[in-house]
Amino acid sequence: MEYGTGCLVCGDEIIYSAAAATFTCFYCGVTKETNASCRMGHFVCDACHNAGACDLIERCCSNTDCVSPVALAMTLMKNPAVKMHGPEHHFLVPAVLLTAFHAATNAGKGTLAERVREARKRADDVKGGFCGFQGACGAAIGAGIFMSIVSGATPLSDRERKLSNLITAECLLAIAENGGARCCKRETLRAIITGAAFVQREFGVDILVDPVPPCCFTNMNRECLRERCGFYPDAREVEMITPIQGAEIQCP
């Protein structure tokens, strides 16, 4: 579910205190004096609060300490700036994979910010509806953008170009075989999981892939595959309207 009111992270009520205290922004890590946070202690800075989807993704992925691309994607997808469906997911996939890759390889945050910015620029060419109109889901292309950036691929490269096309191909296969109308949440998660497994196999880099929490977006998606989707919550175990609390995600 997305939170239209209250805390952007967990949906809980915002508490206003008379005395300001120092908090760290949940998304971008900036430290500010504030009188407003939720009961869980989430604080969102004004810049992140007012950011559009791609700005928010860029700010968060460049600065977070979260090492789980699934948790990071879920956190960002629950923010109301990221719509149920939309081309921002084409940037979200390479952004969270870059963040996780940098954490797993101890690469610096400075290079990460540059790479996330480059991913955004490239993902901008992958417009909405690519899956149906161009025959290549933008979430899968996002994994290809990620690989192209970390491998330094160009159209003239050999192995780097192969790896970039291969990761996209594997993501597309995973997405296509499941069938169904588009769901940007489902395809984003599938591309992240497939991409992380690819990185493990090809580079021996362990990207943390924790279990995907039960999907909380089904009520917002008219075309939800429900029982046909691997992320659909089992109604016997999960109450659909129960929000996934930020505390469980522990991110960043």
Phi-psi region of 230 (alpha: psi -120 to 50; beta: other; left: phi over 0): alpha
- Judge contact between 146 and 160, C-beta under 8 A: no
Round to whole Å and give the CA distance between 225 and 40. Answer: 33
Q: Which of residues 114-173 bind Zn ion (CB under 5 A)?
A: none
38 contacts Zn ion (rule: CB under 5 A):
yes
CB of 80 to Zn ion, least distance (A): 14
CB of 66 to Zn ion, least distance (A): 14
Segment interacting with Zn ion, rule: CB under 5 A, options 23-31, 61-69, 92-100, 190-198: 23-31
Q: Are 139 and 167 in contact (CB under 8 A)?
A: no
Give Cα 48 to chain centroid, integer Å: 15
As measured in angstroms, the least distance from the Cβ of 155 to Zn ion is: 37
Question: What's the one-letter identity of residue 82?
Answer: V
Stretch that binds Zn ion, among 3-11, 94-102, 164-172, 182-190 (CB under 5 A): 3-11
**Out of 42, 85, 102, 115, the residue judged to bind Zn ion by CB under 5 A:** 42
43 forms part of the interface with Zn ion (CB under 5 A): no
Report long-range pairs for 128-136 (Cβ below 8 Å, ≥24 apart). Answer: 128/85, 128/86, 128/87, 130/87, 130/90, 131/175, 131/182, 131/187, 132/182, 136/168, 136/172
Q: Please tell me the distance from the alpha carbon of residue 104 to that of residue 163, in angstroms, as a whole number.
A: 19
Torsion of CA 235, 10, 210, 65, to 10 degrees: 180
Segment interacting with Zn ion, rule: CB under 5 A, options 37-45, 77-85, 106-114, 129-137: 37-45
CB of 49 to Zn ion, least distance (A): 8
Q: Is 10 in the site for Zn ion (CB under 5 A)?
A: yes
55 binds Zn ion (CB under 5 A): no
Omega into 252 within 30° of 0, i.e. cis?
Answer: yes
Residues in contact with Zn ion, counted by CB under 5 A, come to a total of 12
Q: Which stretch binds Zn ion (CB under 5 A): 4-12, 71-79, 147-155, 232-240?
A: 4-12
Cβ closer to Zn ion: 120 or 190?
A: 120
Dihedral sign, CA of 72, 74, 76, 79?
negative
Per CB under 5 A, does 12 bind Zn ion? yes
Residues in touch with Zn ion (CB under 5 A): 7, 9-10, 12, 25, 27-28, 38, 40, 42, 45, 48
